[in-house]
Amino acid sequence: MQGHGYAPPPPQRPSTGVLVVLRVIFVALAILSIGFLAWVAPLRAAIVTRRPADWWIFAGSLVVLGISFAFLSTDHTDDFSSPNGNTGMIILLLNAVACAGYFLYADIRHHHRLYPTGYLPTPAPAVNYGYPHSPSPSPYAATHPQPPVIPLTAPAPHTPVPPPPQRPAPARIDQVRAELDELSDYLRKRDGRHEDGR
């Protein structure tokens, strides 16, 4: 018997603490290395988001890093105090700030799209395989229902729902009792005729 199978489990949200630590590490790596390792932050953003634009930004950060190295390599002073050295250092530092800022923007945007603030994904409902009370989907259509989301905010206090009114059971019981009494009287009379007839 073939069916749609189980729905894939929803992606689990990384803990907020892990995300914050990773963001701090990649931003600190870009800034504290004075821009020499700034390319690591856009690389992380490109790997996480898998968007072509993020890969282009990563490639652009490598190009800018190469340009700053070109300027720095033409400076022959010890402290990069020539105009070429200053230009190379300015490009290097601006690249570090731009890469760190873009990494934060891309990472926050990506996780906000996957897991909107205040909502958690819930597991998909169980698939019903051919039972008559459920509509049977076409076996050729691949359907993947979106799992509903439940807000994390505190729910409104529930007022207890009164149970639906029940039929008065004693009246029904009395009716059945009366019918049984009539039936037993009828049977007694009938049995009495049979005994007289003998």
Which pLDDT score, from 0 to 100, does residue 141 have?
Answer: 54
Residue scoring higher pLDDT (114 or 166): 114
Q: Is the pTM of this model over 0.95?
A: no
Residue scoring higher pLDDT (65 or 14): 65
Residue 119 phi, psi dihedral angles, 5° rounding: -130, 145
Which pLDDT score, from 0 to 100, does residue 27 have?
Answer: 93
Domain boundaries, the chain: 16-117, 169-198
Average model confidence (pLDDT) for the chain? 79
Which pLDDT score, from 0 to 100, does residue 81 have?
Answer: 82
Per-residue pLDDT of 7-33, as tens digits, reads: 666 666 677 888 899 999 999 999 999
Cβ pair 107, 80 in contact under 8 A: no
Residue 63 scores a pLDDT above 60: yes
